[in-house]
Amino acid sequence: MYRELHHPLVQTLINSLRDNSIDAFVFRHTIKEVTKLLLYEALREAPLTSKKVLTWNGEKEYAYIKEDDIVVVSVLRAALPMHEAVINTLRAAVSGFLAIKRDEVTHKSVLYYDRVGDCSGKKVILVDPMVATGGSLCDAIEVLKAKNAQAICTLNIIASPEGISKIQSMHPDVEMIIAKIDEKLNDDMFIIPGLGDAGDRAYNTV
């Protein structure tokens, strides 16, 4: 299952990201703003739990998202601004990190770093800005399922139709929340129109 955000604000932010003249700071900031909107949609039906808090006029009981049942996992390095946006909002959530690199010749992904603990009974929010072929995201999902994730939801800034199709065919139980579905992949498996390399643009790497 996947959902695309259809909103003028999201469209404006995405089109700002397409502008190559913005610097790395603005790029990261805009990614964070889009991520907050994705997170809002992802948690629309999140279960709530009661908690007592001390207010200005005494102890009261209110409903909260149970943040410590959430694990936020990012696919390094491009997802780091997204990760920061999520954990700044869900401050009690647990973090995890996966490093997956795409072979530019075979276009296949290779996992070379895994810092994710056991996910039993947890909802995993998997953040990855770009879904091109879907290979990296599929690999990440398989790692999380092997760690017994109770449910997995992905937050994605840009996705190709081909990448979405691959994720949905291999992992139909995973919910994808996508800011913008772009046109297609080109012959080099880059998203058109896309944003370019999100990791390079976010951190001024070459």
Mean pLDDT of the chain: 94
pLDDT in tens, 185-198: 999 889 999 999 99
Rounded average pLDDT over 125-152: 95
- Whether the Cβ atoms of residue 191 and residue 132 lie closer than 8 Å to each other: yes
Name the pairing type of β-strands 94-102 and 109-115.
antiparallel
Full residue range of the structural domain in which residue 164 is found: 2-203
Q: What is the pLDDT of residue 110?
A: 82
pLDDT tens-digit map of 50-107: 999 999 999 999 999 999 999 999 998 899 999 999 999 999 999 999 998 767 677 6
Structural domains counted in the chain: 1
| Alpha-carbon gap, residue 149 to 141, rounded angstroms | 9
Tell me, what CATH number does 62's domain have? Answer: 3.40.50.2020
Q: How do residues 6-65 score in pLDDT, each as one tens digit?
A: 999 999 999 999 999 999 999 999 999 999 999 999 999 999 999 999 999 999 999 999
